[in-house]
Chain A
Amino acid sequence: QQKVQQSPESLTVSEGAMASLNCTFSDGTSDNFRWYRQHSGKGLEVLVSIFSDGEKEEGRFTAHLNRASLHVSLHIREPQPSDSAVYLCAAMQQGTGSKLSFGKGAKLTVSP
């Protein structure tokens, strides 16, 4: 089973400053990756899905994938206090149909 490591575990940024989160995977068996946001006490909201090496932008959220280094990152442009949440990355392994392996999450706090 794919192991997913997220860093940092928590991050505090000022409103308007770029926020960056990272994810590394244990092996190269995944062929697509997702970033989710989870506000306190709520369900998961998908932010970006990325399938190819390079960059994928969805509004203020940009994911970068580098399969060779088993790494995917999320950059949040101009974060707002409402972006304060837990961010989870997930990988879908090839041949597993729809099974996602999740990281433990990273808590982002955006201060006004």
Chain B
Amino acid sequence: DMKVTQMPRYLIKRMGENVLLECGQDMSHETMYWYRQDPGLGLQLIYISYDVDSNSEGDIPKGYRVSRKKREHFSLILDSAKTNQTSVYFCASSRLGGRSYEQYFGPGTRLTVL
């Protein structure tokens, strides 16, 4: 069963704290993504990873960094979180060469920064 998992599902942090969001997939997909979803804005791409240690900025990378040391894991890191980073974060994965390949999404992490 193809699956993308995200941990934690819910997280509350104070402004200035560091945040680590984790994503895993069991499909050996080369490409993985981090999006954030805000009311009225839809999904916005933060980072894309084409394989281990091959990461590329998306449309809104400022304030975020990522780490991909194993193909099946992709982490999103917020150093010194800000209140405007309160959002729902989605991870996705797909085969490389994405035109014909679907992106499979995880269930999301709801992050609140106080």
Contacts and interface: CB of A to CB of B under 8 A. Distances in A.
Contact of B99 (A1, A36, A92): A92
Given A98-B31, A103-B42, A104-B42, A43 B105 contact: yes
A97 B98 CA distance: 6
Contact of A99 (B4, B45, B96, B104): B45
B1 to A, nearest CB: 14
B42 A43 contact: no
Given A43-B90, A99-B58, A31 B99 contact: yes
Interface in B47-89: 48, 50, 58-59
Interface residues of A, number: 25
B105 A102 contact: no
Contacts of B107: 42-43
A103 B44 CA distance: 10
A32 B101 CA distance: 11
A46 B102 CA distance: 8
A73 interface: no
A4 B98 CA distance: 19
B103 A104 contact: no
Given A42-B108, A98-B98, A1 B59 contact: yes
Given A31-B99, A46-B102, A92-B98, A97 B50 contact: yes
A88 B42 contact: yes
A43 B108 contact: yes
A98 B108 contact: no
Contacts of A51: 99-100
B90 A44 contact: yes
Interface of A: 1, 4, 31-32, 34, 36, 41-46, 49, 51, 88, 90, 92, 97-100, 102-105
Given A4-B42, A44-B103, A92-B98, 11 more contacts: A36-B105, A45-B105, A46-B102, A88-B43, A90-B43, A97-B50, A97-B97, A98-B94, A98-B103, A104-B41, A105-B42
